[in-house]
Structure 1
Amino acid sequence: MMRLLLIGPPGAGKGTQAVRVAEHYGIPAISTGDIFRANVSEGTPLGLQAKDYMDRGAYVPDDLTNALVLDRLAQEDAGSGFLLDGFPRTLAQVSTLDECLQATDGGLDAVVQLVVDPDETVERLLNRAKVQGRSDDTEDVIRNRLAVYQEQTHPLVDVYRDRGILVSVDAQGDVGAVTDRIFAALAGRL
């Protein structure tokens, strides 16, 4: 069983790398962003609530996020492992995830921190907005999301470093080279 988490600021390439890493290890990539966007596009009540937060660049509240992610982790394909992208984002969500994983006799095997220059993330997200037509990727919203990340999510790096499961990877440059760096960082841990 392999349980991984990708952590990094918006625009670090978590979604791109999650797909590659999960496919390599034969585990599902579980992305809160994908879960939220699916609910928004389907017009579900949760999706409508989440859209308001997403359009402002704010985090969707823990209670909504926790319910969706824990439901997804309970699905059969996640029983042999998973890769989380976008959860946990807060210290409270770390506690929720810890409780969930302890109930199944385990914890995370590794946390991969994708490190990228903030100006690079802004550029990446503005380009993504043009390509994908995403309303949540304006420059003001992006800069707000980066500030929220620094305040609420970056403290998780210290938590996982203290647990001895954090590996930091340079996420700038060619996508394939970043993937190779991730595999090299994980090679000695898994």
Structure 2
Amino acid sequence: MLNIVLFGPPGAGKGTQSQKLIARYNLVHLSTGDLLRSQIAQGTELGLRAKQLMDEGLLVPDEVVIGMIESQLANNTTAAGFIFDGFPRTVPQAQSLDELTRRYDTGVSCMIALEVAEEELVKRLLERGKTSGRPDDQDETKIRKRVTVYNNETAQVASYYAQQNKFHGLNGIGAIDNIFGQICEIVDQHLPATPVADSQAAADEVKA
């Protein structure tokens, strides 16, 4: 199973690259942002609490996010793999993800981080805010707060995966297709091995 953690600060381009990766590798997209916004749209208790935190540029508690991810894993046991977009965002979440995936006899294949300077992020998010309707995309103070939260807490996850030799950093500024090509070069190195040896052995046995 191919499991990719796509990483980067708000506005780095994770959503765009996620869709291209899903189409190429037939992955299930797990975006904590989308899951939370779905709860908000439904007006659930979780959604109301999440909206308050997201509007303030703060992270949703680990236990809430982890519970949603576990539910998605349980509902997609036959998937070719997953792309985790916006998760894990803390080291405890990364540790929990390792525990969760082990229960399903799999694990994180690689972690790819899109690296973009803060001023570019602010510019991108303010532009996105003109059409997204999201309050946290329309206020520069909130945007910078989100980036600070990322730098102070989320970026530590990179070190966690680096210790497992799974971290890959990429420049997130440039043509979308060029960045995607670089991502695919990394992903292809982590594709599950095909049982070539077993297939050949079976073929030899038939011939015999």
* Aligned twin of 1:149: 150
SS for the counterpart of 2:30 is strand
Equivalent-residue separation in structure 2 for 1:186 and 1:20 (angstroms): 12
* Aligned twin of 1:68: 68
Equivalent-residue separation in structure 2 for 1:108 and 1:175 (angstroms): 24
In the TM superposition, 1:15-30 aligns within 5 A as: 15-30=15-30
SS for the counterpart of 1:125 is helix
Instruction: State the 1:142 CA deviation.
Output: 0.7
* Aligned twin of 2:140: 139
Instruction: State the 1:189 CA deviation.
Output: 3.0
- Residue 70 of structure 1 contacts residue 100 of structure 1 at CA under 8 Å; is this kept in 2? yes
Instruction: State the 1:78 CA deviation.
Output: 6.2
In the TM superposition, 1:46-85 aligns within 5 A as: 46-76=46-76, 79-85=79-85
In the TM superposition, 1:71-110 aligns within 5 A as: 71-76=71-76, 79-110=79-110
Render the CA deviation track for 1:68-94: whole Å, top value 9, x for unaligned: 111112112663310000111011111
Equivalent-residue separation in structure 1 for 2:78 and 2:2 (angstroms): 10
Instruction: State the 1:116 CA deviation.
Output: 1.0
Equivalent-residue separation in structure 2 for 1:36 and 1:100 (angstroms): 20
SS for the counterpart of 2:113 is strand
Equivalent-residue separation in structure 1 for 2:32 and 2:115 (angstroms): 20
Equivalent-residue separation in structure 1 for 2:6 and 2:80 (angstroms): 18
- Residue 28 of structure 2 contacts residue 79 of structure 2 at CA under 8 Å; is this kept in 1? no
Render the CA deviation track for 1:1-37: whole Å, top value 9, x for unaligned: 1111101111111111111111110011110011111
* AA partner of residue 186 (structure 2): A
Equivalent-residue separation in structure 2 for 1:106 and 1:188 (angstroms): 17
Equivalent-residue separation in structure 2 for 1:45 and 1:92 (angstroms): 24
* AA partner of residue 112 (structure 1): I
Please tell me whether Structure 1 or Structure 2 has the larger radius of gyration of its CA atoms.
2
Q: What TM-score, normalized by structure 1, do the two folds share?
A: 0.95
In the TM superposition, 1:166-177 aligns within 5 A as: 166-177=167-178
State the identity as a percent.
Answer: 37
